[in-house]
Amino acid sequence: MLQKKICLLGAFSVGKTSLIQRYVNKLFSEKYLTTVGVKIDKKQITVGKTELNLMVWDIAGEDDFTNIRSAHLRGLSGYIVVIDGTRQNSFNVALALHERIKTELGEVAAVFALNKCDLKEQWVINREHIRTLAQLGYPVIETSAKLDQGVEEMFMVLARQLVPKKPEA
């Protein structure tokens, strides 16, 4: 079984922990509880014929009080950058984090998650923002941990990038 370390990154309160809770434990809580430090969850999945053991690192949100340590990125196979569609700031933080990881690790599998699509009427992220993300060349997926929308897909899209492609016969 292949073991892969993946990280969820993003500004604080974008829903990283909620997405992981929804994916791993099928749970959701409306209450915002900030994360301090790192929490690692595990999930076994099958991609095609390959079994994967995902080590999902939930890293505390980035802000003036918390910076992501470079050590946390060691051994990273892929990452999901989470954006809260209702908050412009989370978009800016996402781009900065993505840039930082590209600088530190080079090209690594990634997905952008536009979270809280259950609150779409409050979104400030518009088509222009989404186009900017798409132009970076990584999948962009709308998600809602609350409605369990796009969550499984988001992890699967990332996982598919982690499985080595077999050479064509």
Tell which one of 89, 136, 160, 161 touches another protein (CB under 8 A). Answer: 89
Contact by Cβ (8 Å): 82, 15 = yes
- Of positions 26, 37, 135, 169, contacts another protein by CB under 8 A: 37
Q: Which stretch binds another protein (CB under 8 A): 46-54, 81-89, 93-101, 132-140?
A: 81-89
Q: Does 33 bind another protein (CB under 8 A)?
A: yes
> Can you point out the beta strands (E) in the chain?
2-10, 38-47, 50-59, 76-84, 109-115, 140-142
Write out the binding residues for another protein, residues 136-155 only, by CB under 8 A: none
Print the binding letters for residues 97-116 with another protein: x by CB under 8 A, - otherwise: --------------------
> Is residue 94 a contact partner of residue 81, using CB atoms and an 8 Å limit?
yes
d(CA 122, CA 145): 16
Site string for another protein, 50-69 (x = CB under 8 A): -----x-----x-x-xx--x
Closest alpha carbon to 10 in 58, 47, 42, 43 = 58
Cα-Cα-Cα-Cα torsion 9, 136, 5, 39, nearest 10 degrees, comes to 10
Does residue 72 interact with another protein by CB under 8 A? yes
Q: Which residues bind another protein (CB under 8 A)?
A: 12-13, 32-34, 36-40, 55, 61, 63, 65-66, 69, 71-75, 86-89, 124
